[in-house]
Chains A and B, each alone.
Chain A
Amino acid sequence: DAGVTQSPTHLIKTRGQQVTLRCSPKSGHDTVSWYQQALGQGPQFIFQYYEEEERQRGNFPDRFSGHQFPNYSSELNVNALLLGDSALYLCASMNNPTEAFFGQGTRLTVV
């Protein structure tokens, strides 16, 4: 059983560019959450998707947007990248809103 998979694993972008990160949830999981983890910090909640709708959102600007597809996979889009967006982006999936399984993350570097 494949766990949560994220792509790409690493990415380098220039300030002002746009980026799309992808997540495939664990089999049987219908809820996907995205987190941003800066170096030395805990994961910060960005938003959560369930049944293709954004169900909850953290304190992130509108530059951060997402999507969930009918097969429960999800994308995170970030527009107008800033240097401060450099971080590890984690996707977590769950089939009930308690136990979350994390993917390996996408390391985004903005230069």
Chain B
Amino acid sequence: QQPVQSPQAVILREGEDAVINCSSSKALYSVHWYRQKHGEAPVFLMILLKGGEQKGHDKISASFNEKKQQSSLYLTASQLSYSGTYFCGTEKEYGNKLVFGAGTILRVKS
């Protein structure tokens, strides 16, 4: 089952904050976050593991609510370089395939 991302799109001014959400109907082992700029490959940002272990990007944070099977990606003091499409990918078990959401388009304006 494909995770559901919200919002579908968001426009920010530089310095504003944004939250992108990812929900799954299935129990998850991990949630992965990627950013893709137009014409480029998705770039790894963050992984949230069941049990609370977290890795990731130095200017972006995320949370994983295991009870609700929801993850949120927090972008604070946004920069122009944050623009792109953000995807969450969910993993049901360790080593299982990543299933990606439809993406959230983020545009940061000066």
Contacts and interface: CB of A to CB of B under 8 A. Distances in A.
B26 to A, nearest CB: 15
A58 B43 CA distance: 22
A48 B91 CA distance: 14
A100 B101 CA distance: 16
Contact of B87 (A33, A42, A48, A56): A42
B103 interface: yes
Contacts of B47: 98-99
A43 B44 CA distance: 14
Most B C-beta atoms less than 10 A away, residue of A4, A33, A43, A104: A43
In this complex, the interface size class of chain B, counting residues with CB under 8 Å from chain A, is 20 to 34
Interface of B: 2, 30, 32, 34, 40-44, 47, 49, 55, 87, 89, 91, 94-103
A21 to B, nearest CB: 14
Contacts of B101: 42
Interface of A: 4, 33, 35, 40-45, 48, 56, 58, 90, 97-105
Interface majority SS (helix, strand, loop, mixed), chain A: loop
Given A99-B47, A102-B43, A104-B40, A45 B97 contact: yes
